[in-house]
Amino acid sequence: MNKSLFLAASFAVAVFTTGCDNNAGNDTVASEAAVTESNAAQPIDNPNVVSAGAEGETGATDANAPVITFDETEFDFGTIKQGEVVDHTFKFTNTGKSPLIIESATASCGCTVPQPPTEPIAPGESSQIEVKFNSAGKMGQQYPTVTVRANTQPNIVKVSMKGNVEAGGIPTAGADGPVRRN
Question: 5-50 pLDDT, tens per residue?
Answer: 666 676 666 666 665 555 555 554 454 545 445 454 555 554 444 4
Q: Give yes or no for a contact between 101 and 151, defined as CB atoms under 8 angstroms apart.
A: yes
CB 161 within 8 A of CB 133: yes
- Entry pTM: 0.60
Instruction: Report domain extents, the chain.
Output: 68-166
Q: Is the pLDDT of residue 103 over 90?
A: yes
Q: Which amino acid is at 174?
A: G
- What band does 171 get if pLDDT is binned at 50, 70 and 90? low
Identify the CATH class of 68-166.
Answer: mainly beta
Q: Is the pLDDT of residue 58 over 50?
A: no
Q: What is the pLDDT of residues 137-146, one digit of tens each?
A: 999 999 999 9
What average pLDDT score do residues 125-152 get?
Answer: 95
pLDDT at 43: 55
